Amino acid sequence: MSSFPKQVSLHGQRAYITPDNELVAQKSHVSGGERSIGRQGGNVVIPGAPGVVAHFHDFLGDLIPDELQYFEGDTGHSAAIAVATNGLFRMTTSTTAAKTPAAVLGVNEGIKANWKANQGALRMSARLKMSAKNGGQNIFVGFTDTGGTEMPFHDTGAATIVSTASNAVGWLYGGAGATANVWTGIGVKANTDKTPVTGDVPVVNKFDVLEVRIGDTGSDGSGDVAYFYQNGILKGSITSPVTTTTALYPVIAAFSKDTGGWFVDVDYFNVSANRDTGT
């Protein structure tokens, strides 16, 4: 199932129109869609549509783009554009940093909290992989009201996930404890944690496409439900995941509670929502 619901099919499952009058086709504008054989699914909304505000980075070139804010909670962390096929943003954790959720490594889209759930059709997707699984990794992909060097959620091996942000929603990977070595869809609204959604186990050095969409299947996508997709497959949903009027940052963040450095490779980073009407 795609995060863009079908309204009118043009040619079987290969092309269709969404309730928002978007044309969705494999390998095309509003690209991706349902998982195809041998490929990981996931949607990308291309910037430029008059009714949608969108941001996309493919990490080509040799410098971290100015539009992205890179932050680190400890000088032992590092990040750079890797020389690799597709272009990758590589975040490498410190081998010596204090192992706390405040000593994190991350990147977000700009330095402003430009996104709110009440925009309608708010979504973020990223394609990424991790270099190792030693039990100490924590990776978050999603939205948070915390824009600085703080992990919105983390799993330190306890029975429950710890939420640091007041409002946040997205995917968390933790190497031990509550997340049990799987990608987990999570949310916190006004400091109240939501029941998580269980995804699939990641494979070392294999890409996962992670997507969270806040909205419904209506024409304006303004529903208050977060849908979680992994590799184009719907894994579950959380009702009322965040306060809809709270300004949010899209972020990819990581920290390790154990010794030993490891890295996260981000292939692309895509954020979009309905454009503000001004009313």
Task: Express each pLDDT in 216-246 by its tens digit.
Answer: 655 556 678 999 999 989 999 999 999 999 9
Read off the pLDDT band of 80 (50, 70, 90).
Answer: confident
Q: What does the pLDDT read at residue 241? A: 95
Backbone angles phi, psi at 129, to 5 degrees: -145, 160
DSSP annotation of 31: B
Q: What does the pLDDT read at residue 219? A: 54
The C-alpha atoms of residue 193 and residue 161 are separated, in whole angstroms, by 9
pLDDT at residue 1 greater than cutoff 50: no
Query: Which tokens belong to 241?
Result: 């995941």
The C-alpha atoms of residue 44 and residue 30 are separated, in whole angstroms, by 6
Query: Which tokens belong to 183?
Result: 């990608």
Check: CB of residue 232 under 8 Å from CB of residue 42. yes
pLDDT at residue 78 greater than cutoff 90: no
Q: What does the pLDDT read at residue 75? A: 63
Higher pLDDT, 41 or 193: 193
Check: CB of residue 95 under 8 Å from CB of residue 260. yes
Read off the pLDDT band of 27 (50, 70, 90).
Answer: very low
Task: Express each pLDDT in 138-191 by its tens digit.
Answer: 899 999 998 666 788 888 776 678 888 999 999 999 876 666 789 999 999 999
CB neighbour list of residue 202: distance below 8 Å, 6 or more residues apart: 129, 130, 133, 173, 182, 183, 208
Query: Which tokens belong to 105?
Result: 């490594």
Q: What does the pLDDT read at residue 174? A: 84
The C-alpha atoms of residue 148 and residue 106 are separated, in whole angstroms, by 9
CB neighbour list of residue 10: distance below 8 Å, 6 or more residues apart: 16, 17
pLDDT at residue 48 greater than cutoff 70: yes
User: SS3 for 118?
Assistant: helix
Q: What does the pLDDT read at residue 141? A: 94
DSSP annotation of 115: B
pLDDT at residue 35 greater than cutoff 60: no
Which segment of 60-69, 113-122, 172-181 scores lowest on mean pLDDT? Answer: 60-69
List of E strands, 146-257? 153-154, 162-163, 168-174, 183-189, 192-193, 197-198, 208-214, 225-230, 233-239, 249-256
Check: CB of residue 89 under 8 Å from CB of residue 107. yes
DSSP annotation of 94: -
Which segment of 17-26, 142-151, 157-166, 264-273 scores lowest on mean pLDDT? Answer: 17-26
